[in-house]
Chain A
């Protein structure tokens, strides 16, 4: 398949005519009304749109957390709707790192244990996963907070732990739903510089934001209005993809 900018490369994400409807009949809400887009490996995409425009709905489907009402979604060329429950678990675990607006760390569980979790589900030995989790925490600058529980960390620190957790299994695709939505400007800068660094290493990133300054970090901006793509603007070329770190 050919990407929108002429590169001969299979897209990481290929979404065709995606529809998501909540409810039925007169009260039905068409959160997605037929969204199509492709994202090539190494791209850095910002999805923008006003509240209620369907950004999160799209992201949850792309992250295999939800299923669309209709339309197809290929991840690395594989039609996700054909995967069974355990294959989906595998995809979430290996291919996708998801960062939520509300952090979603597991309470009363240390930062290190939170970051180790995806590796544990991947069946990686405790010693190895501890080492890798510490490396991931180090990368987000929180190696010295490894034993802290989420409620002992600031919002910015919690989100960095969440980023470490999302990237620890080295997924090709990093999805972030308003990762800086609950953060002050200082923490926002921290988190964004981490994402920039990850993209520079060739990781594909899709993030949702409604702040222009945040979107400016991305190479491409897609705008949604009422569940439809209204614009798709590229500002920079796709980072050349090496072997992901």
Chain B
């Protein structure tokens, strides 16, 4: 008998029991697709964290606090401290210093109003330090700061909530706590980092915000950009020295009335979180691979009785062992490959959609692994009963239960 004819037998065998064939294909499909997709979601989330942290800027240091010290001197963050930090001599590794005041406010435009997450009052250097890129219009200048100009740059979320998608916000006038501000620019999208939306902001010159919203007290934090990523540590030491001097903190004091956070710390913790997440998803994927494999095995085993009897009949009719083995091996191969192929297709289609807010990134390795394992299981358990039955005497195969 030619291989071609045996192939025909195998095709007929697959078509003869559509339910069994369908279940086998489905089992392999789910196994393969689940593994590929889970790994893709894990990888996607790790990538997302990396991207969003890169967007935060890794050269940036943030000074917070400045309240509750027990040195007997003023320990809040004042513009005097900002000036001291700007001194190139005592802080050569500091590129820029931007004081920041924050307040949640309601923005209005015509009849529309929107509760913005934070209205930030600061200096122009803040844009570069916080990786905020002006996408349309422009940022404000030193001059705007000097004149306490009522101009504002909106984050993309804020702009869209207030103006919708049809109106160009640049040049419009909006109300912030009863004061009129001109919108001079809109920032580029940064994307969510998970907990809060960095795009939900309105940034205005510091004195304008202080005058109309927060008052001229101390600022809430100071954002400092180091000269380079390598200079972050040096900049931090310089800042510490200046703050200690200004706030009269004793050398070697166990606690300071301020905190300096740097982005690389944030990066480390978040990357570690993302890695844990990927490992967890990988474990789930591994389990689903095992479960999928058991499912495949089960379906293949269920058909053993029927197959064994069929093989008994075929042998009684004079089928050579080789022909039987070839037929059943081809059947198993067809089912496994169909299931595997459809599983990969399903995973690739599924990967186009966001899953729990994460854009999956398909890893070629996981495709190869899932396909390899599931197809191997399908092949083995598809052809193993056949090869065993083909070795039996016809009468034993016919009697098999």
> Which range contains the number of B residues in contact with the other chain?
20 to 34
Q: Is B348's beta carbon under 8 Å from chain A?
A: no
Q: Is A202's beta carbon under 8 Å from chain B?
A: no
Given contacts A65-B398, A106-B313, A120-B1, contact A90 B318 (CB under 8 A): yes
| Contact status A113-B12, CB under 8 Å | yes
Give complex CA distance A169, B310 in Å: 20
Give complex CA distance A64, B318 in Å: 10
Q: Is A26's beta carbon under 8 Å from chain B?
A: no
| Contact status B1-A121, CB under 8 Å | yes
B299-343: which have CB < 8 Å to A? 306, 309-310, 312-321, 323
Q: Is A21's beta carbon under 8 Å from chain B?
A: no
Residues of B within 8 A of A94 (CB): 318
| Contact status B317-A121, CB under 8 Å | yes
Closest to B321 in A: A85
Residues of B within 8 A of A231 (CB): none
Closest to A94 in B: B318
| Contact status B321-A89, CB under 8 Å | yes
Q: Which of B17, B309, B314, B320 contacts A117 (CB 8 A)?
A: B314
Q: Is B5's beta carbon under 8 Å from chain A?
A: yes
Q: Is A27's beta carbon under 8 Å from chain B?
A: no
Q: Is A152's beta carbon under 8 Å from chain B?
A: no
Give complex CA distance A67, B309 in Å: 18
Per-residue CB contact flags for chain B residues 1-43 toward chain A (1 = under 8 Å, else 0) read: 1000100010010001100000000000000000000000000
Q: Is B121's beta carbon under 8 Å from chain A?
A: no
A79-100: which have CB < 8 Å to B? 85-86, 89-94, 98, 100
Residues of A within 8 A of B393 (CB): 65-67
Name 28 A/B residue pairs within 8 A (Cβ), A-sorted: A63-B316, A65-B315, A65-B316, A65-B393, A65-B394, A89-B319, A89-B320, A89-B321, A91-B318, A92-B315, A92-B316, A92-B317, A92-B394, A98-B316, A100-B398, A104-B398, A106-B310, A106-B314, A107-B310, A108-B16, A117-B317, A118-B318, A120-B5, A121-B1, A121-B319, A121-B323, A122-B318, A126-B5
Give complex CA distance A160, B17 in Å: 24
Q: Which of A86, A106, A107, A169 contacts B320 (CB 8 A)?
A: A86
> Separation in Å of the B355 CB from the closest CB of chain A?
40
> Which range contains the number of A residues in contact with the other chain?
20 to 34
> Separation in Å of the A177 CB from the closest CB of chain B?
11
Give complex CA distance A73, B321 in Å: 23
Give complex CA distance A122, B314 in Å: 12
Closest to B390 in A: A85
Q: Is A25's beta carbon under 8 Å from chain B?
A: no
> Separation in Å of the A52 CB from the closest CB of chain B?
16
- Other than A92-B394, A98-B317, A106-B314, give 12 A-B pairs with Cβ distance below 8 A: A65-B316, A65-B398, A67-B393, A86-B321, A91-B318, A104-B312, A113-B12, A117-B314, A118-B317, A121-B317, A121-B319, A169-B318
Q: Is B283's beta carbon under 8 Å from chain A?
A: no
